Chain A
């Protein structure tokens, strides 16, 4: 039983180590850090890093939202429309 627990702990440690290796450091002003610390009290965020990561992901995703104007070639589009008409999805 104790050996199992030990193995579990080792596996957890290895997971954490892998996680750690995938992160890097970004500097933010110390007062801002403290403000964020205050803000995340009693929220689901466990650290300033997790909050900053969340916010940055949101901002980055915002810029990627809308589909580009012409994502498919005319040829592809015609071929697809033909099939959709055949199947009754388009008139």
Chain B
């Protein structure tokens, strides 16, 4: 099993006795209520998902991440983890202050403000997304951020309450789970969709070479028209129940808002999975991309820049079902013409589901397809 990124699994959760002190102090400290994506970031820092980060980026780490794709101590890191605040909130905070971070239910974490700084959002977007086009959802999000960023370490006081608690495993838990299962090598598969036959093929092909697979749906803010989180989880439960060995496959979620940063995000996803104890990660065509902003294989090519990542990517080209081969194939394995191919187009699958038509068995397992189609609206509607 690989070491956590940076060598040590970070744990920034306060012990019970320390929590009491902070709870007593909290009323006297400046307080900031965080958006849901920042709540996720706080917990991911505290639970070691973002190891070796112990807090939000200071300006030095931000610049290093943008220019070098590494934090300031030379460890690979490609997506900025920044805490932005409004002008109002910023005015209440001084450097060296301890502040309270809250979610909409109460006290979440305490933070020591190391630095308050401003950053050119245009430049930030250009570096992370290679574009400043506000039609790109990640860029649009950058331009909605508050104008001041605050950097500093955090300590988690209370975990927020979440849906899907049964599937919410921390890195320490997946690491112990893999050890107990005797898995030395584990491949991670990230997903935002219910599984079709192409996904299953990719997962099982990768699984052939390692001891186990961690299927990790990303749970977080989604776009209208995306599949609902509960549908994704239920469809994977169904698939795993009928078509996977229980001793070879596990599922847990990742609470994280996609940035859609294509190649940079692919590296980030790999780092996160390394922290969960995975030795390999599946990187498909246009991983973490959106629209036509990235070359379809840029998310694979970028791995060449990181000889010290500590997790191995397994690259896949796009797949199709070939009627003549009688199975899933790709351009490297199938000699037949396109007329024999059935594509796993997400748009087409979505259309069939909207029309309440079952996708064929070449495209989707019937158990999965029936589960989805039985739902009145399996998509995010608001």
Contacts and interface: CB of A to CB of B under 8 A. Distances in A.
B216 to A, nearest CB: 14
Contacts of A22: 64, 68, 72
Nearest to B308: A61
Interface stretch (B78-86, B146-154, B174-182): B174-182
Nearest to B127: A15
Interface in A23-80: 44, 54-55, 57-58, 60-61, 64-68, 71-72, 76-77, 80
A30 to B, nearest CB: 25
Contact of B3 (A11, A44, A66): A66
A1 interface: no
B176 A65 contact: no
A interface SS class: helix
A39 to B, nearest CB: 16
Given A15-B67, A44-B304, A66-B2, A83 B173 contact: yes
Contact of B308 (A60, A71, A89): A60
B107 interface: no
Contacts of A18: 63, 67
A68 B309 CA distance: 18
A71 B175 CA distance: 10
Nearest to B6: A64
Contact of A11 (B123, B166, B307, B309): B123
Given A11-B123, A44-B304, A90-B180, A64 B173 contact: no
Interface string B241-276: 000000000100000000000000000000000000
Interface in B288-335: 304, 307-310
B9 interface: yes
A61 B307 contact: yes
Contacts of B74: 57
B304 A65 contact: no
Contacts of B304: 44
A5 interface: no
Interface in B165-216: 166, 169, 172-173, 175-177, 180
Given A19-B68, A89-B250, A81 B176 contact: yes
A35 B310 CA distance: 28
A90 B250 CA distance: 11
Given A72-B172, A83-B173, A84-B173, A64 B7 contact: yes
Given A22-B64, A58-B307, A80-B173, A64 B3 contact: yes
B308 A57 contact: yes
B34 interface: no
A8 to B, nearest CB: 10
Given A19-B68, A67-B3, A80-B172, A87 B166 contact: yes
B307 A57 contact: yes
Contacts of A65: 2-3, 310
Contacts of A19: 67-68
A43 B176 CA distance: 42
A40 to B, nearest CB: 14
A90 B67 contact: no
A65 B22 CA distance: 37
Interface string B113-125: 0000000100100
Interface in B52-83: 63-64, 67-68, 72, 74
A21 to B, nearest CB: 11
Given A15-B67, A89-B250, A67 B1 contact: yes
A46 B309 CA distance: 21
Closest 4 CB pairs of A and B: A61-B308, A58-B307, A57-B308, A67-B1
Interface of B: 1-3, 7, 9, 63-64, 67-68, 72, 74, 120, 123, 166, 169, 172-173, 175-177, 180, 250, 277, 304, 307-310
Given A18-B67, A80-B172, A84-B177, 12 more contacts: A19-B67, A19-B68, A44-B304, A61-B307, A61-B310, A65-B2, A72-B172, A72-B175, A81-B180, A83-B173, A88-B166, A89-B177
16 contacts: A54-B307, A60-B308, A64-B3, A64-B310, A66-B1, A67-B2, A72-B176, A77-B176, A80-B176, A81-B176, A81-B180, A84-B176, A84-B177, A87-B166, A90-B177, A90-B180
